[in-house]
Chains A and B, each alone.
Chain A
Amino acid sequence: MSDDKPTVFVIDDDQSMRESVESLLRSVGLNVRVFETTQAFLAAERPDAPSCLVLDVRLPGVSGLDFQNELSKLQIAFPIVFISGHGDVPMTVRAIKAGAIEFLTKPFRDQDLIDAVQLGIENDRKRRAEDLALSDLNARLESLSPREREVMILVASGRMNKQIAGELDLSEVTVKVHRGSAMRKMGAKSVADLVRMVDRLGLGVPASS
């Protein structure tokens, strides 16, 4: 189920902040879900759509920065925009280095928050597309027979059919057949395509000497 309307998740323990941010982001057409605690957020169901997280750095019990770590361990790759009632430079730097999109101190300009969230959603959209492409490739890879797979890898390394035949102890004709079906199953329109795909899948071998 892929509902493509982007969603923003807001976690802040201050009710006023939650309500005002929710209203602001809704006013620019975004889907918004608010939570008072990180646990509430983790427990909730998350739609399969480009997302972004707006997180207060100082939450009772959990520091926003620690939560950032926790999320990456859970492989939740949402872009994060931090908001804070006070921010010192070291904290800001740590957050950005750990991959946050932005670090805003209250009171922030509403446009700044909107811009950061839009950027986050854009990044997430791109990431999802890449992930999708990769899983598609993997699915296609699964559909290859072992031989087709071997031949594909050697073709991508730049070897001639004759060489491949020699290495795999097959006839050149057989090699050509496997090569053709591999390319078809993978959806590669040229050898260059195939090379890129093999690279993406991390299967490449060194070129023959």
Chain B
Amino acid sequence: MQKRFNTSDSIHPMLLPFVAAALAATIFIFDTFSPFGMAVAVLYVIVVLISANFCDRRGLLMVSLGCAALTFLAFTVSHGVEYQSSSFARCLVSLAAIAIATILAMKNKATENALRRSEAYLSEAQRLSHTGSFGWNVDTGDILWSNETYRIFALDASVLPTLSIIIDRVHPDDRDDVRKALRRAEAERRNWHLEHRLLLPDGTIKFVNVVAHGSDLTSGQFEFVGAIMDETATKRAELDLSQARANLAHVNRVTTLGEMSASIAHEVAQPIGAIVTNAGAGMRWLGAEPPELDETRKVLGRILKDGNRANEVITRIRAMSRKMPTRRDTVSINSLVEEIVALVRAEAERGHVTLQLALAPDLPLVACDRVQVQQVILNLIVNSIEAMSAQHDGQRRLEVRSLLDATGNVVVVVADTGPGFEADQIDRIFDAFFTTKPQGLGMGLAICRSIIEAHDGRLWAEPGQDGGAVLQLLLPVDAGDEKRSESE
């Protein structure tokens, strides 16, 4: 806080050197020519003190030596070299006084410098952490603010803060709560804390967190000293996070895989539902007295028909994904991966999964349907996160790498530390209807592979070196743009 007791407060700082010089001159004249047997030279102490205000250490030392010289000069002029006399003793006393004053002034200066440095650090710390400090004398109503507090409230530093100014800048919806809290603080005189919003005159809204500690002053009054933290950035980040989550859900819903999964689920559920019902009917027909074989035959016939129907649905959808008009954007794989990872970070954190990116720089650009490839990568990542959900915390690591392989194509690798695949399952995981998830539909990887193959790429899986699964997808490089790369 800015208030400091300053000797120069009452005199214009520019005049001080002249005042000091004039004083020194006056003292010298008195000292030399006055008949009084006094140690007039002691008054040089005043010159030293005044000089401490505008001199640095070296300057002060010079002034001090100057005064000492003047003292000695005065003595020499008026008394010659009578070193045994009481005048000389007085001279020595004056010199001692000047020396002591200088030492004290130096110490004061050092302390002032340390204080100023400390305040500068504090001020910088407050600025960096968006935390301001304040003091509130409950009995007098005086409020003191640090620079950062002024900044948080967007108030000019020349204005004296008051409770009404503060309340004015509190968000209208929070005013009642804040007033109540402050009134309670005043009455109970106990440590308090408060979270509320500010609405500044220019319309900005800030989220602040205020904490205060109370103590008695020596004057008998009571004072709160506290900090106010501007948490707007954190709150914004939280909002962005939930927005990102909503975006993720939305992306899942409206893009290729999302749409497909929903329509597959529905189209397949119908024949499967009929199959189950038919089977139930068949059991009952057979269990009748006597067993109804004709009816059972009919039932089995329907089961066959419905089973084929389900199969057709899958085939049709796979064919559809291959024929789908794939857009050909020229895409930087790394930027694509980074976008997906940004969306998925929240999920990863919730599943306590450590997500690492190792993207090779300067990869050539790839021609592909941005949205579809993102969906594939998203699917792989989400599969990995789900696969690791049964591991112990700390053993869930997911790494996404991008690289240029030996054939000059771009490869994206998604590796996890989950249970991985059984050796005999590795080939089958891309088959339709194959799933290791209890509630899985078994369509994700089949569709992913269709999408990548439609791009003339490849999608395959390998067991990880330390267990876990490694899914790799390869995309051919845009032949016409081999010269261009990601670094541009």
Contacts and interface: CB of A to CB of B under 8 A. Distances in A.
Interface of A: 14, 16-17, 19-21, 23-24, 26-28, 83, 85-86, 106-111, 113
B361 interface: no
Contact of B281 (A27, A86, A106): A27
Specify which of B275, B284, B302, B309 lies most central, judged by the most chain A CB atoms within 10 Å of its CB: B284
* Closest 4 pairs (CB-CB, A-B): A110-B280, A106-B273, A16-B274, A24-B281
Interface string B265-305: 11001111111111111001100100010010011001001
B223 interface: no
A111 B280 contact: yes
Contact of A27 (B272, B275, B288): B288
B306 interface: yes
Contacts of B272: 106-107
A29 to B, nearest CB: 9
A206 B139 CA distance: 72
Given A27-B295, A85-B269, A86-B266, A17 B281 contact: no
B302 A16 contact: yes
Given A16-B305, A19-B302, A20-B302, A110 B273 contact: no
A99 B446 CA distance: 42
Contacts of B269: 85-86, 106-107
A27 B285 contact: yes
Given A16-B305, A17-B270, A23-B277, 11 more contacts: A17-B273, A20-B277, A21-B277, A23-B302, A26-B281, A27-B292, A85-B269, A85-B270, A106-B276, A110-B276, A110-B281
A106 B302 contact: no
Contacts of B306: 16, 20
A14 B270 contact: yes
Contacts of B270: 14, 16-17, 85, 106
Given A16-B309, A85-B266, A86-B266, A108 B273 contact: yes
B252 to A, nearest CB: 16
A21 B309 CA distance: 18
Nearest to A15: B274
Contact of B277 (A28, A86, A110): A110
A14 B284 contact: no
Nearest to B279: A110
B295 A20 contact: no
Residue picked from A86, A107, A113, most chain B C-beta under 10 Å: A107
Contacts of B299: 20, 23
Contacts of A21: 277
30 contacts: A14-B270, A16-B306, A16-B309, A17-B273, A20-B277, A20-B278, A20-B299, A20-B306, A23-B281, A23-B285, A23-B298, A23-B299, A24-B277, A24-B280, A24-B281, A26-B281, A26-B295, A27-B285, A27-B288, A27-B295, A28-B284, A85-B273, A86-B265, A106-B273, A106-B276, A107-B269, A107-B272, A108-B276, A108-B277, A110-B280
A192 to B, nearest CB: 48
A194 B401 CA distance: 87
A26 B275 CA distance: 16
Nearest to A111: B280
A52 to B, nearest CB: 16
B298 to A, nearest CB: 7
Contacts of B281: 20, 23-24, 26-27, 110
Interface of B: 265-266, 269-281, 284-285, 288, 292, 295, 298-299, 302, 305-306, 309
A85 B276 CA distance: 13
Contacts of A83: 273
Given A24-B280, A85-B269, A86-B269, A17 B274 contact: yes
A27 B285 CA distance: 6
A120 B90 CA distance: 122
B217 to A, nearest CB: 61
Contacts of B298: 23
A43 B43 CA distance: 122
A28 B306 CA distance: 23
Nearest to A14: B270
Contacts of B284: 24, 27-28, 110
A113 B281 CA distance: 11
Contacts of B285: 23, 27
Contacts of B302: 16, 19-20, 23
A96 B294 CA distance: 38
A131 B273 CA distance: 37
B266 A20 contact: no
A16 B280 contact: no
B457 to A, nearest CB: 33
Contacts of A19: 274, 278, 302
B273 A113 contact: no
A28 B295 CA distance: 13
B266 A107 contact: no
Contacts of A106: 269-270, 272-273, 276
A17 B284 CA distance: 17
A107 B295 contact: no
A108 B275 CA distance: 10
A23 B278 contact: yes
B308 to A, nearest CB: 11
B271 A16 contact: yes
Contacts of A109: 276, 280
A113 B295 contact: no
A151 B57 CA distance: 122
Contacts of A17: 270, 273-274, 277
A85 B274 CA distance: 11
B292 to A, nearest CB: 8
A185 B279 CA distance: 56
B130 to A, nearest CB: 43
A113 B274 contact: no
Contacts of A14: 270, 274
Contacts of A16: 270-271, 274, 302, 305-306, 309
A117 B306 CA distance: 24
Interface centre among B273, B285, B288 (most CB of A within 10 A): B273
A20 B283 CA distance: 12
A109 B274 CA distance: 11
Contacts of B288: 27
